[in-house]
Amino acid sequence: AQSVTQPDIHITVSEGASLELRCNYSYGATPYLFWYVQSPGQGLQLLLKYFSGDTLVQGIKGFEAEFKRSQSSFNLRKPSVHWSDAAEYFCAVVLGAGSYQLTFGKGTKLSVIP
Amino acid sequence: GAVVSQHPSRVICKSGTSVKIECRSLDFQATTMFWYRQFPKQSLMLMATSNEGSKATYEQGVEKDKFLINHASLTLSTLTVTSAHPEDSSFYICSASSLRDLYGYTFGSGTRLTVV
């Protein structure tokens, strides 16, 4: 079945430490890939997206993600985490080719230790 | 940037009443609107997709007579929860995209619905 997997439900990192949030997808073709962040009780903000081209994508707030076709992955990274990065992070995909429906992973909650 | 204003942010209603949630695109034409439901500590589940001027397409398992979606203009879409019950309590989020940016989804800030 087609799916988006975020294996880590909750991650805790110290402020200043590096971060990697994992995302894997299971589709026949390469979908369009997105990372969103959600603060408590808020909507979603786009961090970055990948459609094609350079597999390393730069986003807002110092985030980047790398698309690896061989691993069907689109992991989100940040070299140095700030306390304000504490939030819920969602990986999402769109199948493309006329499909416009976002399918979300279950999310990873990030906690940051001062 | 594109902004979607969603109101109300919180609403408490009694069982059996109806509640309307509005999403307005402030600076772009929202040709497509998506409505999601999010349970506590869970992901967003797509409820329905609506294109301006057309009937909404509901996902499997979503009662279209209970969750009425109207998308009569390019800047406004509404979700009405009819005859609300406590199990309808949830966080509802809208998302809009335009013809100019089909994959540029702009999300509203969400509505916390509590049915008592």
**Each residue of A13-51: pLDDT tens digit?**
999 999 999 999 988 787 899 999 999 888 899 999 999
Please report residues of B whose CB lies closer than 8 A to that of A44.
44, 93, 95, 107
Q: Are residues B103 and A106, on separate chains, in Cβ contact within 8 Å?
A: no
Low-confidence spans in chain B with pLDDT less than 70: none
Question: How confident is the model at residue A58, as a pLDDT?
Answer: 97
Nearest to A10 by CA among A25, A24, A22: A22
Question: How confident is the model at residue A40, as a pLDDT?
Answer: 86
Six-digit token pair at B68?
């009425």
> Where does residue B26 rank: exposed (0-12), middle (13-18), buried (19+ CB within 10 A)?
exposed
Q: B57-80 burial, b for 16+ CB within 10 Å, e for fewer?
A: ebeeebeeeebbbbbeebbbbbbe
Please report residues of A whose CB lies closer than 8 A to that of B42.
106-107
What does each C-alpha distance from A47 to A38, A66, A97, B5 come to in angstroms? 10, 13, 22, 19
Question: How confident is the model at residue A96, as a pLDDT?
Answer: 65
Q: Is B31 on the interface with A (CB under 8 A)?
A: no
- Compute the radius of gyration of chain B from its Cα atoms: 13
Question: How confident is the model at residue A95, as a pLDDT?
Answer: 78
Q: Are residues B44 and A90, on separate chains, in Cβ contact within 8 Å?
A: yes
Question: How confident is the model at residue A97, as a pLDDT?
Answer: 65
Backbone angles phi, psi at B100, to 5 degrees: -75, -25
Q: Are residues A105 and B43, on separate chains, in Cβ contact within 8 Å?
A: yes
Q: Is B103 on the interface with A (CB under 8 A)?
A: yes
Cα distance between residue A76 and residue A48, in whole Å = 9
Nearest to A110 by CA among A21, A20, A43, A11: A11
| The Cα angle at residue A9 between residues A3 and A12, in degrees rounded to 5 | 145
What does each C-alpha distance from B21 to A14, A87, B24, B69, B109 come to in angstroms? 39, 25, 10, 10, 12
Q: How confident is the model at residue A1 (pLDDT cuts 50, 70, 90)?
A: low
**Strand B76-81 relative to strand B19-25: parallel, antiparallel, unpaired?**
antiparallel
Q: Is B7 on the interface with A (CB under 8 A)?
A: no
Q: What amino acid is encoded at A26 in this protein?
A: S
Q: Residues A49-104: pLDDT tens digits?
A: 999 999 999 999 999 999 999 999 999 999 999 999 999 999 999 976 677 889 99
Question: How confident is the model at residue B53, as a pLDDT?
Answer: 84
Is there a contact between B103 and B116 (Cβ–Cβ < 8 Å)?
no
